[in-house]
Amino acid sequence: MKTPTIYDIKRDTAQHSPHFFDGGTLRFFDQQMKDFRVLKSPQGNLYILATSDRWHGSTGQFTTFRQYIPGDKEGEGRLVTVDNGDTPPEEYIQTH
């Protein structure tokens, strides 16, 4: 399977996560679509990852990290919160 782009994922998750990639949400988290990377684990799982240096007026580095589960049909994909604890996302992806 070819790794989807973030735009493919946005389109596929629109039914279950209609606000995840909308302009207001991205502005709130000080992110843009181009900030997101799509990563594939050695096991074939797909993840999205974006880092922001600001979040709603706070300082520090904040990370958005979700697993993408493609739907059986276009528009049925899901984004699932990943419980990676203190493990950095890139390290987590290597083992999941």
pTM assigned to the model: 0.88
Tokens of 30: 């000080």
pLDDT at 29 (0 to 100): 81
How would residue 69 be classed by pLDDT, with cut points 50, 70 and 90?
A: very high
How would residue 61 be classed by pLDDT, with cut points 50, 70 and 90?
A: confident
Average pLDDT over residues 60-76: 86
3-class SS at 10?
helix
pLDDT tens across 10-58, in order?
A: 999 999 999 999 999 898 888 899 999 999 999 999 999 998 776 666 6
Give the type of residue at 12. Answer: D
